Structure 1
Amino acid sequence: MVGAFAAAVRAIWVILASRAPVGLSDPYVYLQAAASLAGGRGYTSLLGRPTAYYPPGYPLFLAGVQKAAELVGQQSRLIVILGLAQAVLGGVGAAALVIAGCRLRPGIRLGILAGMIFALWPNLIIHSGLVLSESLFLCCFCVFLAALFTWTLSLQSQQPRHQGAVLAVLLLATAACTLVRPQSMAVILPAAAVAWLMSGLGWRFALRCSGLLLVGMLIAILPWTLRNAVVMNEFVPMSTNTGDNFCIGFHQGATGGFSISPECATEGNYTDGPKVEVERDAELRTRTMSWIVAHPGEIPELSYKKLRITLSHDADAVFAWESYGADAHLSSGQRSLLNWICNVYYWIVGMLGLAGVVLVLRAWWADRNSHERSAQASSALLLVTSCVFGVLLPVLFFGHERFKIPILPCVALLAALAIHSLLRPGSRSSEAVSTDSTSFADTDTEAGAEQEVTSD
């Protein structure tokens, strides 16, 4: 029911509020790339030349939605159909978080709390109606978390039930996340390894699971690298926008946020063809590294600015809904109200998430010398390390509210953990994350109840 509720809330928003994007921005570029793919012309830039500037995951998804709309003669309603598809993705993501939460502690209460936090997240609801990759990535990442937690739990409990199916879902979810947001998955790999080592499961366990995630990433990377070699005659593992992202964050006069600066200008543009695109990416990366080496003293302040820009607010979808100012259809009061709702919700959940971090770390510290090692505890630690590694991305590139969205499912689970603990005031704080081996048996006895919830 949680998944159905999340999808319904998003569908209502899409039906009432979806608008076609205007102006030259990411949504327009995505739509043009999808039109090229749907028309059989391949993945091309605005000028019709082969490109690898953006990761291919979202344009491929958008092209599939466009083809489906054309098949039923509703291509004129593409934006609404896309929004409804993304509403369904939001429902799948919420249902997957219910499963993930049930793997953190026996019972379904924690999972339902996490799913509802995700379902009611205002900024994410608005994102459902936008031509942006967040809804697709969040769905894939929530499924990834649910599959990963289930798989690691089955490994330690040595219960092979449905292990093959779970493994297949985990690999596919990892590959899908990599196609949509490769940078985010690149930091999840070390975050997971650190969590498994911290939880005391051993380096063999960490190596085995890390290798599995790497295989999932390679399922996405290798075919796309081969495509780029054939179509562009260049070695491009995923995308060519790394140079731009680096330069925006590190140049003379950088603000820490997004800005178009002459310091990042080149003779050619990425739309000028594969050769220019690849050379431009390499030039900007080299230029950025030279600036960093020459200005090490500016890095701490820049890093702080990037984190402040990324983490202080959570209303980027409101700005995107108005096409970044090109379609300012809201009154000042309406805009302020929407921003306020989005930010207050984020601040409350964020504080609860921080409380969840404290509970996880306290439980880990209290049990650091215990001989009992728990996959549930490692999953909780993975939420913490994913948040830590996730906020490094804007430090490496530039600050933007959108750049924290990939870790919001982890924040929702940590917030749910805090609420769950508050609802049980008689429980010991060290039990914030169950590490008792009997919890696996408890999980099995409640499997039927979990399946009833997660099937939605």
Structure 2
Amino acid sequence: MDKDRSSENGHKMILGAILFLALVLRFGVVYVQGPELLLNSDDRWYVQSAANWLTTGTMTFCSDSPSAFIGPVYPAFLAVIFSAFGSDDQGLQAVRYGQAFLGVLIVLLTYLLARRVTEPRTALLAAFLMSFYPPNILINGLFLTETLFTFFNLAYMLLLVKLSHEDQLSEKGETFLFGLLGAFTALLALTRATSALYPAVFMVYLLWRRKLPLQRWFRNGLVLCMAFCIFMSPWWIRNYVQFDRFIPFSTGAGDPLLLGTYVDMEGIVDGVGPDWPTGNGELDLQEKYKQYAIERLKENVPKEPWRYLKWYTVGKFLLMWGGPFMWPSIWDNLRPWVDYYHQYLMIFAFGGAALALWRWWNRRKDLEGIGGGLQHDQVPRDRWGAGGQFLGPLLLLSIPVYYSILHNLYFGFGRYNIPFMPLVLLFVSYFIVEVYDVLMGVRKGDYAKGILR
């Protein structure tokens, strides 16, 4: 008992040191480099959108006309801070410090998620890696959706794990949590529209994982959908009044769809092709982009089917996951080191995912003893390591798989992998701790040796 209490206190001290490190790095970068952290890209339009919203009451993007090109959550986040500090340099720095604080909370949520599904050493290592991974620090100082979305998404994942692996929920408690999941999905979708369809994946997973009676499953799904619609309805009403049409999430799908038709980004300069059509306003332009994207695919896929097949599978996957997000004009001297570091992280993450899946598959007979067989999405402890156990590896893997498929249909690059780096680093940490246990000769039930205790 004393050893357990001592170990728990030691873990808390280490976690405190990791959070302090995360705080110093993020606040230090904002303090030293704050005014330099501008891309003059999407960030400029987010800032303009929030400032216009405050002064005119109208949400805009890239112009002074009403817009539904992006969801309203991130501009609203900026507008709240601007309302207190202004939208000048002081207000911009306030946003950066606010996002830096969210970055520290993201490290904490990474620990809490990893602790919930694995064990303390893996959780501490994941939080430590998250605290100093350079793109995670850099993004906190930029006016982009990634910081806010990562924070929301980690809280969302904790809710998913609770709903799928908590067996002590009352009927009322379960109903409440599914309503909360619907509201949370709306929040995510209004930050990034790609989130909207993930609940369909989760509900299929839940039916498989928990073998819920169909009536209960349908009831929970209905509660989820109702809460989602209720929280989305102000946006839907605003768009219908403003544009006289139903716009469920955003009007910005045409741009990434068209961009994604250019294999290896050939012919693209500053995110635009020289032959892109022009339009009369946002809605018309995005519709023309969609039509032109379809025309390009109809014309080019028959000519080079294998090249396009590779691009829409491996090519776009590597574009999104193969490198870190490091803006060329910022931290140039770190770029080669961060490239190598990211690539090693991805290799270790694949190793951790493969190890978890291999253990899960090979221990399925043991799981049958506690009922359900493969329906139990967990890796039980085994003789190969003191940590061993992993709860919900398939659930967690479904999230990057879902977003990878969506971005393969449209477009993605290194910036879009940042919200899912906590999951990547969780699997990295799982792999490192398990390999460490094997090398140190640790077995099931033993007290770990060395520094990773």
Q: TM-score range by the shorter chain?
A: 0.7 to 0.9
Partner of 2:23: 7
Partner of 1:347: 343
**1:14 partner letter:** V
Partner of 1:142: 154
For the Cα contact (< 8 Å) 1:310–1:404, is it kept in 2? yes
Query: When the two structures are aligned, how many residues end up with a matched partner?
Result: 403
Partner of 1:225: 236
Residue among 163, 166, 188 paired with 2:198: 188
For the Cα contact (< 8 Å) 1:147–1:167, is it kept in 2? no
CA shift in 2, pair 1:219/1:428, >3 Å? farther
CA offsets 1:49-101 (integer angstroms, 9 cap, x no match): 1111122221111111111213xxx9431222111100111122121122211
Shift of 1:188: 3.2
Partner of 2:128: 116
CA offsets 1:5-50 (integer angstroms, 9 cap, x no match): 4333211211111225667521111111010122242202343211
Instruction: Give the RMSD, CA atoms, in angstroms.
Output: 3.3
Distance in 1 (CA, whole Å) between partners of 2:39 and 2:120 is 45
Shift of 1:126: 0.8
For the Cα contact (< 8 Å) 1:11–1:84, is it kept in 2? yes
Structure 2 gaps, min length 5: 1-15, 380-390, 446-453
For the Cα contact (< 8 Å) 1:8–1:87, is it kept in 2? no
Residue among 308, 320, 332 paired with 1:299: 308
For the pair 1:338 / 2:334, whether they are aligned, the reply is: yes
For the Cα contact (< 8 Å) 2:163–2:174, is it kept in 1? yes
CA offsets 1:144-194 (integer angstroms, 9 cap, x no match): 11222133332x2447998788667645543322211121x1353354345
Residue among 280, 283, 287 paired with 1:278: 283
Partner of 1:259: 271
Distance in 1 (CA, whole Å) between partners of 2:134 and 2:218 is 38
For the Cα contact (< 8 Å) 2:178–2:224, is it kept in 1? no
For the Cα contact (< 8 Å) 2:58–2:66, is it kept in 1? yes
Residue among 355, 359, 371 paired with 1:359: 355
**Superposition pairs of residues 44-123 of structure 1, within 5 angstroms:** 44-70=60-86, 75-105=88-118, 107-123=119-135
Shift of 1:367: 4.1
Structure 1 gaps, min length 5: 269-275, 323-329, 432-456
For the Cα contact (< 8 Å) 1:43–1:51, is it kept in 2? yes
For the pair 1:130 / 2:138, whether they are aligned, the reply is: no
TM-score scaled by structure 2?
0.78
CA shift in 2, pair 1:3/1:167, >3 Å? farther
Partner of 2:383: none
For the Cα contact (< 8 Å) 2:147–2:419, is it kept in 1? no
Partner of 1:400: 413
Shift of 1:280: 2.4
Shift of 1:302: 2.3
Aligned sequence identity (%): 22
Radius of gyration: which is bigger?
Answer: 2
Query: Secondary structure at 1:317's aligned position in 2?
Result: coil
For the Cα contact (< 8 Å) 1:241–1:281, is it kept in 2? yes
Shift of 1:361: 1.3
CA shift in 2, pair 1:393/1:30, >3 Å? same
TM-score scaled by structure 1?
0.77
